[in-house]
Amino acid sequence: MKFEEYSISFELKKNLEKQGFRRPTDIQFKAIPPILKGEDVLAIAQTGTGKTGAFAIPVIHKIQTAKKTKRTNNIQCLIMVPTHELAQQITEVFTALAKNTGVKTIGIFGGVDQAPQIAALENGIDILVATPGRMFDLVSQGHLKLHAIEILILDEADHMLDLGFIRTLTI
């Protein structure tokens, strides 16, 4: 199967083609259809197998489709990750795949000034990629509202638990 055969938006197909993606990897082939249907998915795969694309492609499509019928500045998808490097990487993938779709993504993480992140949040976004520490800091400061989230992705959840985020995630 090729990406052009999937029931996803023209813009998303075009972005996949520009990125050189013609066919889904195994993890993408298995994960994309159930995510498009709104089903819960638990996936495990090696680094470099296209895991980010496995959830980015259907999430972008679902949000782009939803934005055609409802106007919202609320965050619709939260992707929690253990490190700022992973947050940056995933944000880059989402930004590239969502080009010209109207779907906006930002990454928030510690170790950098929070002011630009707060400004980006105030402009309205659809997808938030966040490390738990910075996310909860911005929630407690009143800059981040999570009430409208419809999609939650825990990327590298095992790593987050290894790093001790279990208390943060269960509060």
Domains and CATH numbers, the chain: 3-170 (3.40.50.300)
Give percent of the chain with pLDDT exceeding 90.
75
pTM equals 0.90
Tens digit of each residue's pLDDT (9 = 90 or more) over 110-167: 999 999 999 999 999 999 999 999 999 999 999 999 999 999 999 886 666 666 655 5
Between 102 and 162, where is the model more confident? 102
What is the reported pLDDT for 163?
A: 66
pLDDT at 165: 59
Q: Angle at the Cα of 94 (from 88 to 119), degrees rounded to 5? A: 60
Task: Work out the pLDDT band at 44, boundaries 50, 70, 90.
Answer: confident
- H-type alpha helices, the chain: 10-18, 26-36, 51-69, 84-97, 115-122, 132-140, 157-162, 166-170
Contact 126, 75 (CB under 8 A): yes
Which residues does residue 79 pair with via DSSP β-bridges, in sequence order? Answer: 129, 153
Q: What is the mean pLDDT of the chain?
A: 90
- pLDDT at position 141 is 96
CA distance 16 to 45: 21
What is the tens place of the pLDDT at every residue in 7-18?
999 999 999 999
Is pLDDT of 171 > 60? no
| Euclidean distance between CA atoms 61 and 97, whole angstroms | 10
- The span from the CA of 39 to the CA of 170, in Å, is 23
CA distances from 57 to 11, 63, 169 (A): 11, 10, 26
Per mean pLDDT, which range of 57-66, 71-80, 82-91 is the poorest? 71-80
Check if the beta carbon of residue 106 is closer than 8 Å to that of residue 121: yes
Task: Say what the pLDDT of residue 161 is.
Answer: 67
